[in-house]
Amino acid sequence: MPKITRSIDRTLKAWRDSPRRKPLVIRGARQVGKSTAVQTFAAQAFASVVTINFERRRDYREVFEPDLNPKRILAELEIKARATIKAGSTLLFLDEIQDCPAAIASLRYFYEEMPELHVIAAGSLLEFALEEVGMPVGRVEFAWLYPLSFAEYLNASGRAALAEQLPTYDVEHGLSFRMTQVMVQETYNALHEYMIVGGMPEAVVTYLATGSFAQSDDVLDQIATSFLDDIHKYARGDKQIANVGLVLRRLFQFIGREVTYSTLGEADLGQRTATSVSLLEKAMLCHRVRSASPASLPLAGSAADKHFKCILLDIGLARRMAGIESTALLRGSDLMAAYEGRAAEQFVGQNLIAEGLAAGSEGRQLFCWIRPQKNAKAEVDYLLARHGQVLPIEVKSGSTGRMRSLRVLMDEFANVKTIGGFSNYPCLHAYESRVLGIGRSFAAAKAYERHVSILSDRCTKPGQIHSAGAPSMWILFSLNM
């Protein structure tokens, strides 16, 4: 597979150079590019790399069985791999480590007795292996890898210069918006591709090489089949295995709305469906967005296990698992309104996670707000904890949207005075009531007596209040209040 620059590359370099380095465990779902990222990094950063793949060569496992002495383990690995492992210049890569629980346990002793050796481990379905053997607490460090974010897709598709121009916000410098109308249109074109192809590396490489959505769909179908084939590895019993497969295929229909187990699992038992959602979350194929109260932090303290929404691993993969052809998006003029707005909410949630913006929010978790009062429905799509405060993010799609739920939340919770923001989303519409690039959403922004920022997948010309038929996705959040 051709090299794709990933955001994890910076993490790996910092890890290599750290004087307090520990064995690094990379976690992520299958086929998100963990092995490729490590091999690409190793080729550039080390004189050599010795890869021990426990899935391909089962005989490697016996090396770790007698005891966990790292010197003996290295000596025997050198013989089996027919390679020299030299601390300081060789990367030892333990791939598919979930298939060798003893190798997981050995990471502690590599840290304690051979800290000069660079060791990276990676695995899929790793959460299930850790339930059996545990992870050496305080003896390893972690990194996460997800499908390509939109910014990574821009880089992979030769649009690195465009990625550099995407609006950014930070606490010190505020909002930076430098895009011209040409840049906006190019961003929208790229976003259209990304919404169809998604961020699974093999699907991205296939589309960029062929320009064919049909061929990238074939790759996504193969990945979906492999995920369904994997279910028996972590689900027990024919009924549970069947239910996990059903839930995985149906989850896309529930993006953007509260999940009820009875509806998600159709006629199956609610408890069985609840178990399926938990298993899929451990397999990192879905992410549960639990409802929490913004009244106080941590958000997890008030998060409700019974009230939640879900997003899936990848937007392209989700589309294919739901049986939706790429032509359905190719025909649509309003990209973000596709599938009743589910695509918009999946896109935002997936990129918040992939860009690491959820990492500072209580252990990489996303939350939402679902108003508990009956007959007073209101929902805000995402809540992040940032800098000790709460950042609400509301996603609106289609040609209309009043942001009523966000206003209800901010009226009810005076403590929601957020200073955070996130980067790498296409275009700004309005900021601090000053017109920078305005679409239909300006009236909604103007209605608030607080500073707000609205990001959209397409901007109209400055000063243009209304643009009939312009595709729009609005992400509203408060700033510096």
pLDDT mean over 200-216? 97
Check residue 218 and give left, alpha or beta (phi > 0: left; psi -120 to 50: alpha).
Answer: alpha
Q: Within 13 Å, how many C-alpha atoms sit on residue 155's CB side?
A: 14
Q: What does the domain layout of the chain look like in residue ranges?
A: 8-144, 151-478
Q: What's residue 358's pLDDT?
A: 55
pLDDT of residue 322: 85
pLDDT of residue 187: 86
Report pLDDT for 471: 34
Of 226-240, 296-310, 465-479, which gets the smallest average pLDDT? 465-479
pLDDT at 158 over 90: yes
Average pLDDT of the residues in 60-88: 96
The answer on pLDDT for 207 being more than 50 is yes
Tokens encoding 74:
């290295």
**Could you tell me which of 363, 372, 368 has the C-alpha nearest to residue 381?**
368
Q: Measuring CA to CA, how many Å separate 475 from each of 70, 336, 428?
A: 51, 11, 9
Rounded to the nearest integer, the mean pLDDT of the chain is 81
DSSP code of residue 380: E
- What pLDDT score does 167 carry? 73
Q: What is the pLDDT of residue 174?
A: 56
pLDDT score at 405? 84
Q: Taking the model in full, what pTM does it have?
A: 0.85
The pLDDT tens digits of the residues spanning 411-429 come to 888 777 543 333 333 333 3
Closest C-alpha to 29, from 241, 313, 355: 313
Sheet holding 304-312, edge to edge: 304-312, 286-291, 367-370, 379-386, 389-397, 473-478, 452-456, 427-431, 434-435
Listed range (103-112, 225-234, 245-254, 350-359) with the worst mean pLDDT: 350-359
Residue 402 binned pLDDT confidence (cut-offs 50, 70, 90) = low
Q: Which residue has the higher pLDDT, 429 or 234?
A: 234
Q: What is the pLDDT of residue 393?
A: 82
User: What is the pLDDT at residue 304?
Assistant: 84
427-475 tens-digit pLDDT: 333 322 222 222 223 223 322 323 333 333 333 333 222 223 333 333 4
| pLDDT at residue 337 in the model | 61
Distance CA 124, CA 77 (A): 22
Q: Predicted confidence band at 257 (pLDDT cuts at 50, 70, 90)?
A: confident
For residue 352, pLDDT beyond 60: yes
Highest mean pLDDT among 9-13, 166-170, 419-423: 9-13
pLDDT of amino acid 360: 52
CB 196 within 8 A of CB 330: yes
Per-residue confidence band for 398, with pLDDT thresholds at 50, 70 and 90: low
pLDDT band at 173 (very low <50, low <70, confident <90, very high): low
pLDDT of residue 455: 38
Question: What CATH fold (topology level) applies to the domain 8-144?
Answer: Rossmann fold (3.40.50)
More confident residue, 89 or 393: 89
Mean pLDDT of 17-33: 96
What is the mean pLDDT of the segment spanning 176-180? 74
Percent of the chain residues past pLDDT 70, beyond the cut: 79
Q: What is the pLDDT of residue 21?
A: 96
